[in-house]
Amino acid sequence: MSVVTTNKLQNILEIISDSPPVNALGAAVRQGLVDGIEQALSDDEIEAVVIRCEGRTFFAGADITEFGKPPVGPNLGEAIDRMEASEKPVVAAIHGTALGGGCEVALACHYRVAVPSAKLGLPEVKLGLIPGAAGTQRLPRVVGAEAALPMVVIGNPISAKKAAAIGLVDKVVGEDSLADDAIAFARAQIGKPVPRSSAGNANQDGVKNPAIFDEFRAKNGRKLRGFDAPNAGIEAVKAAGEMSYEDGVAKERELFMKLMSGTQSAAMRHYFFAERAANKVDGVDPKIDLIPIKKVGVIGAGTMGGGISMNFLSAGIPVTILEMKQDALDRGVATIRKNYENTAKRGRMTAEQVEGAMGILTPSLHYDDLADCDLVIEAVFENMDVKKDVFGKLDEIVKPGAILASNTSYLNVDEIAAATKRPEYVLGMHFFSPANIMKLLEVVRGEKTADNVLVTAMKLSKKIGKVAAVSGVCDGFIGNRMLSPRQQQANAMLMEGANYWEVDDVLLDFGFPMGPFQMSDLAGIDIGWHRDETRIETMRDALCAKGRWGQKVGKGFYDYDESRQRVPSDEVKELIAEWGAKEGKEQRDISADEMRERMLYPMVNEGAMILEEGMAQRASDIDVVWINGYGWPLFTGGPMFWADTVGLDKVVAGLEKHGLPVCDLLRSKAAAGEKFNG
C-alpha cells in the first residue's frame, strides 16, 4: 500500500500520510503529496484539501537518512510550492510534532489547525542546518522576524497554544477530533481567497527594527559559540525581510547547501543517530519483558542523591530518599525544594508542579522503607567497603526482582554485585553532577547483569530525560577513563613550560566550555586531598597547602573576582616553575597545535582501547558520552567522529610524534584507511 492515500469526502479531499515511525518526508511521501495535490486540482468536485498524518505524529521533517545521498523523487520545496499555488484552500491538520520539513509543509498550506498537544518547530539547526524548503522565508512572513528567530536559530519546538498566539496556527481544535474539525474548518474556507505564507508581510518588523538581529545574536552568543548554522539562520531570517520571496528562497538554498556539505552538519547528523543507537543493547530483543519501575529508592541525600531523586520526581515517579541522620536528610530535602522553587521562579515549572514533585518524595532514616522499591540507587561515599556494606543490606531488605544500582564513578560494579545474592539485578547508573541537569547517564553492565535489567535501565533513562550509553566494567567507565590521559598530558605540559591558561584556551578554542585547569578549579582542587599542609608531595598538595582549593574559595589555578572571572595567578606560575625545575624537564614553548594533539589524541587512543576491550558497544556511544557528560563540542561529532574527520593515520602519526602510546585497534584501522564511525 502506498504511504500516502487520499480520501474523498464530498467536496473535500483528505491527503493522508502513514509512514511510521514519524512520517518523515522521504521520497515516497513527497511523491504521494505531489500526487494528492494533482488529484485535488484536477478533480472539479474537490473544493478544499486537508493534509494529515496517521500514527503518532504529523511529518517530523525531511528523512535524515536521505541526506548526503543522491536526490530521489520530487524535491520537497517544489512539492510544497504546488500546495501553496493551489486556488483551492489547503489545510494542514497537525498532531504530534510538525518539525523541520513537516513545519514547512504546514507553512505552505493556506491554513493550519492543530490539536492542543501538538508542537511545531524548525529544529534543523540541531542538525547543523537551516530549513531548506523555504521555512526561513515563509515563517517570518507569517509570524514576524522576531518570533521566527528563536524557532530558526535555536530550534526548540513551540506548543500549539504559542503557535496560535504568534499566528502560526489558525485554530486549535479538539484533541480527539482533529480529522473532523479540520474538514469542517476547510469547508468554511471554500470560496474565500486563499492566504499564502510567501505573500505575508509580518517580516517587516525586522526591516523597521534591524537591531533585533544583533540583539538576538548577543543574547544567545554563548550558547551558539562555534556553531555555523545559527548565524546562517539569522542571515536567512534577515533576508526574508530585505529580499523578494524568490531571492530569499535562493539565499536560503545557498546557505542550506553550504551547511549540508560541511563537516559540522555531518557531525551533528551523526550525533542524532548516535544518541538513538546508544539506547539500544546489541543482541537483546528490545521487546524483552521490562521490570516496571513505579517506586525508586535513593540512598544519600547529598548533592548527588538529591539531584538523582529530582529526575524521578520530575517524571512523576515516587522516590524514597534515605539518609543516616535527620539533619542531613532535612538539608537534602530542603535543597530539592529550593531547586524546584528556583525553577518555578524562572517560569519553567508551576507552583502546582513543585508541590506535585515534592508530594511524591518520602524522606526516611530507615532502610526498611526501601523494601518495596522497584529500583534502589545508592549515592553514598565512593569507597568499596562502604558500597559493599550498603549492597549487602539492600539485598536483605529490598524485595526480590528489584534492581539495585550504584552511582559509582570508578568502582568495580562486579565486586559490588558480589556483595549480594542477586548479582543479575545489579548494575551501575552513573549520573553526572548536577544530576538533575546533566543529560548523561552511563549505565554500567556488570558481568552478571541480566538483559532485562539493563534494558529496563536504558528505557527508564529516556523517561527521566537522560541520554544513556552502556559501559562495561572498567576503571572510570567510558567517560572518566578517557578524561584521565587528557589530564595527564595537560599536567605534563605544565612541567615542560606551558602556561596553564594557554592549555585551557586551546580547549576553549576547540569548543569545550572550559579547559582542564578551569575544570579542576570548578570541581575543587582539594577533593581527595589528605588535608596535611606539611605533607607536600605533588603540585596539587602545594596548591592545597596554600589554600588554593578552587573557585569556591576564590582561588585555585586562577584567581577569581566576585563575578567569577578568572585571572592567571603569579603565585601559581611560580609554584609551577618550581615544580617544573624539580622534575628537571626541559622548559620550552609549546605550540597550540601540540597542546591540542597531546590532549585529544590520547583520548582517541583510550576510546579505541575501550572499543578493543568491548567496554563500549560502538564508537558512537563514546561520542554520546563525551558530548553529554564532558562538554565535547557537538559540532565536531564527539571524539571518535572527530578523529575520523582528522584522519586516523594523522592521529597515529601525532601520537607517535609526541612519544605517546598507540593501541592495536587504532593502528590497524589507520593502516587500513578505516574510520570508527561508518
| Residue 124 within binding range of ligand 3H9, rule CB under 6 A | yes
Q: Are 627 and 621 in contact (CB under 8 A)?
A: no
CB of 150 to ligand 3H9, least distance (A): 16
Q: Are 280 and 274 in contact (CB under 8 A)?
A: no
Contact pattern for ligand 3H9 over residues 262 through 281, marking x by CB under 6 A = --------------x-----
CB of 129 to ligand 3H9, least distance (A): 6
The CA distance from 50 to 492, in Å, is 66
| Residue 433 within binding range of ligand 3H9, rule CB under 6 A | no
| Residue 336 within binding range of ligand 3H9, rule CB under 6 A | no
| Residue 455 within binding range of ligand 3H9, rule CB under 6 A | no
What is the DSSP track for 275-330? HHHHT--TTS-TTSPPPP---EEEE--SHHHHHHHHHHHHTT--EEEE-SSHHHHH
Cell matching residue 338: 529550593
Q: Are 441 and 427 in contact (CB under 8 A)?
A: no
**Residue 218 phi, psi dihedral angles, 5° rounding:** -65, -40
Element (H, E) at 457: helix 451-463
45 carries an active-site annotation:
no
The CA distance from 140 to 239, in Å, is 10
Return the range that interacts with ligand 3H9 (CB under 6 A); candidates 124-132, 166-174, 286-294, 427-435. Answer: 124-132
CB of 554 to ligand 3H9, least distance (A): 43
Q: Which is nearer to ligand 3H9, 263 or 362 (CB)?
A: 263
> For residue 349, what is the DSSP state?
S
12-17 vs 4-9, strand pairing mode: antiparallel
**Residue 443 phi, psi dihedral angles, 5° rounding:** -100, 115
SS3 per-residue string spanning 579-608: HHHHHCCCCCCCCHHHHHHHHHHHHHHHHH
124 carries an active-site annotation:
yes
Catalytic residue among 104, 146, 252, 323: 104
Count of residues engaged in binding ligand 3H9, rule: CB under 6 A: 24
Q: Which is nearer to ligand 3H9, 467 or 651 (CB)?
A: 467
Catalytic residue among 47, 124, 442, 594: 124
Please identify which residue in 32, 89, 128, 132 interacts with ligand 3H9, judged by CB under 6 A. 132
Please identify which residue in 16, 29, 33, 64 interacts with ligand 3H9, judged by CB under 6 A. 64
| Residue 21 within binding range of ligand 3H9, rule CB under 6 A | yes
Please identify which residue in 12, 15, 16, 22 interacts with ligand 3H9, judged by CB under 6 A. 22
Contact pattern for ligand 3H9 over residues 82 through 121, marking x by CB under 6 A = ---------------x-xxx--x-----------------
The CA distance from 672 to 668, in Å, is 6
Per-state percent for the chain, helix, strand, coil, to nearest 5: 50, 10, 35
Q: Which is nearer to ligand 3H9, 236 or 435 (CB)?
A: 236
CB of 569 to ligand 3H9, least distance (A): 45
Return the range that interacts with ligand 3H9 (CB under 6 A); candidates 63-71, 416-424, 606-614, 664-672. Answer: 63-71
The residues that touch ligand 3H9, with contacts defined as CB under 6 A, are: 21-22, 24, 57, 60-65, 76, 97, 99-101, 104, 123-124, 127, 131-133, 135, 276
Q: Give catalytic residue positions.
A: 104, 124
